[in-house]
Structure 1
Amino acid sequence: MKIVSATPADLEQLLSFRVEAASWIGKLGSDQWSRPYPAARLLATIEAGTVFMLRDGGRTAGTITLTAEAEEGLWSEAELSEPSMFINKLTVAREYAGQNLGGRLLDWAGDRAYRASAKWLRLDAWTTNASLQRYYLDQGFEHVRTVLEGGAINGGPRVSGWLAQRPTRLAEHGFTDEAPSPEPLLA
């Protein structure tokens, strides 16, 4: 399997991944991703070069977004002063479930972040999805804190404010990385 940068042609696939994931998560009792994600916002992240696709031949097995940009209002100034990269929208196609592709994508992201001179790989997860939080803890992340206010439109409660991090490191993820090399983070 190989990792490549997403292109605008991947937009529909990414939107359908989100619908598939929301359906699966909903059956497990979570409302995560139940609201449609704005296609224009997703396209902007693709064009920024932060979305990556995991390809298995001609099929897409998963996706992950990795960026140096933190979501506003989550991390403290002191935390933001540490070189970090942030993951979000990690999704594995249901037909590839149970193969640890999510864990390997996290290792790939940590490896890529390390090569960009980041100290931390950070994420924010759904505040009410205890299973997802446990998954990240099992992947070596440590819970930092949960931010509940100030994230939603019109100042409502934040739905994705469970913060976690793990140190970056070189990793044997087993993927062929065909994405452009990451730019070093500015100190």
Structure 2
Amino acid sequence: MIIEPARLTDLPCLLRFRSDAAKWLAALGTDQWSTPFPADHIAASVQAGEVFLIRASEGAEPAATVTLDHKTDPELWDLWTPEERAEPALYVHKLTVDRRYAGRDLGGRILDWAGDRAARQGARWLRLDAWTTNTRLHKYYVQQGFEHLRTTTDPDEVSGWIAQRPARRVQHGFDDRTFAHRSSGQ
């Protein structure tokens, strides 16, 4: 499998990933991602080189996507302690696997790639947040080696379950094209 930077021309695919995931999650009984994410926010992340696509082979339709950056969601800033915010970390956002690739541990491999990338960039932690009421997702992340730190009690914050695991170099098995080809946003 290949992992590469997303381009602005991939925006319709990225939006489809989000809407398809919302439909699947709704069938599971959660309203996670039921509100459409603004396309301009995704486009800005693409232009910043923070969005990645995973393909089974050269030219194949994307199998998954992930956003990886150096910042937590602004609404969750206060959930991280000042000491935690001072530590170097990369944050996983919008990890989505096409249902055709479900059950193959693709999400786990993407998290391993993200942790490897974080370690190579000198980060101590790989961090993420999850929908507060999605306990199935919480269990998945704990099984992937994340330690739950805390959950917000703010009823208006829907994605306030935060966790981290040490960043470490690992074999993830991807043909990693993310360092060789910096996204130009095209």
Structure 1 runs (4+) deviating above 3 angstroms are none
3-state SS in 1 of match to 2:71: coil
- Please list every run of 5 or more consecutive structure 1 residues that lacks an aligned counterpart in the other structure: 150-155, 182-187
Q: Is the 8 A contact 1:148 1:159 kept in 2?
A: no
Hey, what does 1:66 align to over in structure 2? 68
Equivalent positions of 1:102-181 (< 5 A) are 102-149=107-154, 157-180=156-179
Hey, what does 1:153 align to over in structure 2? none
Hey, what does 1:20 align to over in structure 2? 20
3-state SS in 2 of match to 1:131: helix
TM-score, normalization by structure 2: 0.91
Distance 2:99 2:153 in 1: 30
By how many angstroms is 1:171 displaced? Answer: 1.0
The CA RMSD measured in Å over matched residues stands at 1.1
Distance 1:41 1:141 in 2: 27
Distance 1:17 1:148 in 2: 29
Hey, what does 1:40 align to over in structure 2? 40
By how many angstroms is 1:92 displaced? Answer: 0.3
Q: Is the 8 A contact 1:2 1:176 kept in 2?
A: yes
Residues 90-143 of structure 1: CA deviation (Å, up to 9, x unaligned): 000011111100000000000000000000000010000000000000100000
- Please list every run of 5 or more consecutive structure 2 residues that lacks an aligned counterpart in the other structure: 181-186
By how many angstroms is 1:67 displaced? Answer: 0.3
By how many angstroms is 1:148 displaced? Answer: 3.3
3-state SS in 2 of match to 1:98: coil
Q: In percent, how many aligned pairs have the same letter?
A: 52
Q: Is the 8 A contact 1:110 1:170 kept in 2?
A: yes
Hey, what does 1:79 align to over in structure 2? 84
Distance 2:72 2:156 in 1: 18
Higher relative CO (Cα under 8 Å, sequence separation at least 6) belongs to 2
Distance 1:25 1:157 in 2: 20
TM-score, normalization by structure 1: 0.91
Distance 2:145 2:5 in 1: 25
By how many angstroms is 1:180 displaced? Answer: 1.7
Hey, what does 1:10 align to over in structure 2? 10
